[in-house]
């Protein structure tokens, strides 16, 4: 059996008494591509917020390799190898695509390191390699605010890839993309999943079928079902609350 990379146990968070995530257990293996689905308000995004430290858990534990994530500040989590893409593309719109990738490059991460940081060949090669993967080689010098919605999504994925995280979390990566862009994104995700674990939140079932190794279904902050896409789609409980009749 493959190694467990991320182990979530008894995870609970309540906002003013409302339990957005309720006693959740979730295990992600190394190099696994997991898709989380579920109706609106199921707590999908909250789970990602909890893993990356944006929201603090009320109780429970999140273990990544040997570290307990619930006690670490966000930037330390990232340095351990946890990357998170937000639902709306979150890029630096006033900087060029190149500069966006450069800032994300994991070197010169403290104040004086950043002052001394140089664009050497290693950095340049890495930026070009990533730009190639995310289909933006031609647009490196463009101010990123001018990119299309889909291209912004790719750029943010690229900004995470350049940090080479072991666990990458993507919140609705194909939302607002055209059909062609969706296909390219599926291809991209399948490519990057080879070297790392991925957690993807997605609503588009066609897209989920293209990428998912396993699917977890969340409902009201709890795990409803888990397994292959076929088994989940055949599960009567899932049909009841989410997929519809």
Partner 1 sequence: MNKYLLSLFKNKSGIDLLIISLIIFVIFPLSMDIFRLNLVGKYLTFAFTSVGLVMLWGYGGILSLGQGIFFGIGGYCMAMFLKLEASDSVSTAHQTTPGIPDFMDWNQLTELPTFWMPFHSLTFTLFAIVGIPIIVAYIIGISMFKRRVSGVYFSIITQAIAAIVTILVVGQQGFTGGINGITDLKTLHGWNINTDSAKYILYYINGGLLILTVLVCKYVASTKLGRLLLAIRDKEDRVRFSGYDVANFKVFAFALSAVISSIGGAMFTLQVGFMSPSIIGIVPSIEMVIFAAIGGRMSLIGAIYGALLVNYGKTAFSESFPTLWLFFMGAMFIGVVMFFPEGLSGLYVSYAPKLKSWFEKKFIKDKSLTNSSVKRAG
Q: Tell me: does residue 166 bind partner 1 (CB under 8 A).
A: no
Cβ contact 170:83 at 8 Å: no
Site string for partner 1, 186-225 (x = CB under 8 A): ----------------------------------------
Q: Which is nearer to partner 1, 8 or 78 (CB)?
A: 78
CA nearest 44: which of 238, 243, 211, 218? 218
What token pair was written down for 42?
């199921």
Asked if residues 55 and 13 have their Cβ atoms less than 8 Å apart, the reply is yes
Q: Is 1 helix (H, G, I), strand (E, B) or coil?
A: coil
Nearer CB in complex with partner 1: 163/233: 163
Cα 230 to Cα 40: distance, rounded to the nearest angstrom: 22
Quick one: angle between helices 97-104 and 121-133, nearest 10? 110
Residue number, 18 or 112, with CB nearest to partner 1: 112
* 94 lines the binding site for partner 1 (CB under 8 A): yes
Q: Name the minimum Å distance from CB 206 to partner 1.
A: 29
Of the residues 79, 148, 190, 228, which one makes contact with partner 1 according to CB under 8 A:
79
7, 63 in Cβ contact below 8 A?
Answer: yes
For residue 120, what is the DSSP state?
Answer: -
Residue numbers 108-127 binding partner 1 by CB under 8 A:
108-111, 114-117
Contacts of 85 (CB under 8 A, 6+ apart): 153, 156, 157, 160, 168, 169, 170, 171, 173
86 binds partner 1 (CB under 8 A): yes
Q: Is 90 in the site for partner 1 (CB under 8 A)?
A: yes
* Site size toward partner 1, by CB under 8 A: 32
Binding site for partner 1 (CB under 8 A): 52, 54, 73-75, 78-79, 83-84, 86, 90-95, 99, 102-104, 106, 108-111, 114-117, 156, 159, 163
């Amino acid at each position: 059996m493959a190694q467990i990379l991320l182990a979530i146990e008894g995870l609970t968070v309540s906002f003013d008494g409302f339990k957005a995530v309720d006693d959740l257990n979730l295990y992600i293996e190394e190099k696994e591509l997991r898709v989380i689905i579920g109706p609106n308000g199921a707590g999908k995004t909250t789970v990602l917020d909890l893993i990356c430290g944006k929201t603090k858990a009320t109780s429970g534990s999140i273990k990544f390799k040997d570290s307990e994530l619930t006690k670490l500040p966000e930037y330390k989590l990232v340095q351990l190898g946890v990357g998170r893409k937000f639902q709306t593309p979150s890029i630096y719109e006033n900087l060029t695509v190149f500069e966006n990738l450069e800032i994300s490059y994991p070197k010169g991460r403290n104040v004086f390191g950043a002052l001394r940081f140089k664009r050497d060949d290693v950095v340049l090669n890495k930026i070009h390699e990533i730009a190639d993967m995310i289909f933006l080689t031609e647009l490196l010098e463009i101010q990123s605010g001018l990119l299309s919605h889909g291209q912004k999504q790719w750029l943010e994925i690229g900004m995470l890839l350049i940090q080479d995280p072991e666990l990458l979390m993507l919140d609705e990566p194909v939302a607002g993309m055209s059909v062609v862009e969706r296909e390219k994104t599926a291809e991209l995700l399948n490519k990057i999943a080879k070297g790392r674990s991925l957690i993807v939140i997605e609503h588009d079932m066609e897209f989920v079928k293209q990428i998912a190794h396993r699917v977890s279904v969340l409902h009201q902050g709890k795990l409803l079902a888990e397994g292959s896409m076929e088994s989940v789609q055949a599960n009567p409980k899932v049909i009841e609350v989410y997929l519809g009749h």
